[in-house]
Chain A
């Protein structure tokens, strides 16, 4: 198979295992390209991409922009804080105005779950979801899986642990879908108040004892507390959270095995992960960032391929 089954990347739940394998295989080639002295390919020189970020982002936005430029696409950036959205314009109106400037593809980050899906059904452009509320963040999940595969090979029957604020995390949900598609065992760990009640119905193991969970896993993905999405008090104090769920070198040293440590960023050093652990030899956090560009190049390339030029 050399073509994606979807025309937009809205979420991992819309993909199948062949799509994942194709994305990873294509990313392998792009990873080789971005390590050459000239890191650019001309494939998308006739494509214009709009990056619409209605929420703050550093690495995702930079990573998308770099991926687009490496593919020779023309790029326009939009941030809601400097736009007419503040004047009351709807999302679809904003996007349609941008599309009338002959934009082919839209990368959308939005605080509302389902925003990418809404756009995909209402506007004539390829949509890539760069995070929609607490719903999905598919490109993060794909780069996470890709980084794990680099270290562990095939993820079938591997034990992957996701720790932290699962309730408010789009990274967790997309990772669960992606890992399960590849046959991995997934466990989530965190305070009861930060783990959705229904999660076990997805076939995910739920554990509240952090040390027990760490002993089970091959890889731990530490998530940040999404304070900006918390409307209530979910744990007594940050200090207590750190004591129970903060990853430190003391805890890692107490395990009788090595595990890989991941974090989607931004890291709150000293909260979910200590500084020495984040910078340790088993940390693959910077690999994730590097792989993010290759994965996003792969996705943009494969989606562009689905839209042939009118002859």
Chain B
């Protein structure tokens, strides 16, 4: 299967640095903010953003955690692929500025489920969305990112894959045709 690489590791790194700076611009010292990675694919992006904020920009007290939305999806018993639940952290969101972090924004249904799921922990002050890839013209719901890495146009029969390589750090984003 041929891969059409749209972002290489250097480009991803530049984008992540920019996204981190945009977050700092809006959240300053993050004392009333929490970054929430959406399981499973948002976990790696969250880790990279946290790494940049703490190591490069010395944000000392950063609140972050993971949220799983499996039980809040709108396709339970409708999807042939059975989804396994993942871990959710004990998230302190009451009155906080929440930033959802996910790798690819496609239909928006994951974000809708996350909006329901996060409220089970409390009532956030506001919620923003950060995504590395924004698939334009593919939304099923009125949801848009506040922080976007790269906006791309992809056909319905294509899939965008974000490959986080933990060992070599040779991250890349590519497009493949669905089988």
Interface residues of A (CB under 8 A from B): 2-3, 26, 29-30, 32-33, 36-44, 46, 301, 304-305, 307-309, 311
Let me know if B31 is at the binding interface, CB within 8 A. no
Interface centre among B73, B85, B116, B119 (most CB of A within 10 A): B85
Report how many A-B pairs have Cβ atoms within 8 Å.
Answer: 53
| Contacts A44-B76, A305-B77, A308-B80 supplied; 16 other A-B pairs, CB < 8 Å | A2-B83, A26-B85, A29-B68, A29-B70, A32-B87, A32-B88, A32-B90, A36-B120, A37-B120, A37-B121, A38-B121, A41-B71, A46-B77, A305-B76, A308-B77, A309-B78
Q: When the two chains form the complex, which single residue of A26, A33, A304 contacts B120, counting CB atoms closer than 8 Å?
A: A33
Residues of A contacting B90 with CB < 8 Å?
32
User: Which residues of B does A touch, CB under 8 Å?
Assistant: 68, 70-73, 76-78, 80, 82-88, 90, 116, 119-122
A-chain residues with CB within 8 Å of residue B72 when the two chains form the complex: 41-43
Residues from chain A with Cβ under 8 Å of B122 in the complex: 37
Give the residue name and chain of the A residue nearest to B69 (CB): A41
Q: List 10 A-B contacts (CB under 8 A).
A: A26-B85, A32-B87, A36-B121, A37-B120, A38-B121, A42-B71, A46-B77, A301-B71, A305-B82, A308-B77
Complex Cα distance, B85 from A32, in Å, reads 12
Instruction: Among B71, B78, B86, B121, find the residue whose CB has the most chain A CB atoms closer than 10 A.
Output: B71
Contacts of B78 in A (CB 8 A): 308-309, 311
Q: Measured between C-beta atoms, what is the minimum distance from B72 to chain A in Å? A: 6
- Whether A33 and B82, one on each chain, are in contact in the complex, defined by CB atoms closer than 8 angstroms, is no
Set of chain A residues within 8 Å of B116, measured between Cβ atoms:
42
A43 partner residues in chain B, CB cutoff 8 A: 71-73, 76
Listed residue (A42, A46, A305) with the most chain B CB atoms within 10 angstroms of its CB: A42
| Neighbouring B residues of A32 by C-beta, 8 Å | 87-88, 90
Q: How far is the CA of A44 from the CA of B68 in the complex (A)?
A: 17
Q: Which 8 A-B pairs have the closest CB atoms?
A: A41-B71, A38-B120, A29-B85, A36-B120, A309-B77, A2-B84, A2-B82, A43-B76
**Chain A residues with Cβ under 8 A from B70's Cβ?**
29
Task: Decide if the interface of chain A is mainly helix, strand, loop or mixed.
Answer: loop
Bound CA span A139–B78, Å:
27
**A231 CB → nearest B CB, Å:** 45
Complex CA gap A3/B86 in Å reads 15
Closest partner residue, chain B, to A32 (CB atom): B88
Do residues B119 and A38 form an inter-chain contact, with CB atoms below 8 A? yes
- CA distance in complex: A43, B70 (Å): 9
The closest CB in chain B to the CB of A36 belongs to B120
Q: Compute how far the CA of A42 lies from the CA of B119 in the bound complex, rounded to whole angstroms.
A: 13
A146 to chain B, nearest CB (A): 16
**What CA separation (Å) do A283 and B161 show in the bound complex?**
50
CA distance A43 to B113 in the complex (A): 11
State the CA gap A308–B120 with chains docked (Å).
27
Instruction: Give the Cβ gap from A263 to chain B, nearest Cβ, in Å.
Output: 30
Which A residue sits closest to B76, measured CB to CB? A43
Q: How far is the CA of A37 from the CA of B93 in the complex (A)?
A: 11
B residues within 8 A CB of A2?
82-84
Q: How far is the CA of A216 from the CA of B68 in the complex (A)?
A: 42
Q: A304-B77, A309-B77 are in contact. Are A40 and B120 (CB under 8 A)?
A: yes
Bound Cα distance A29, B73 (Å)? 15
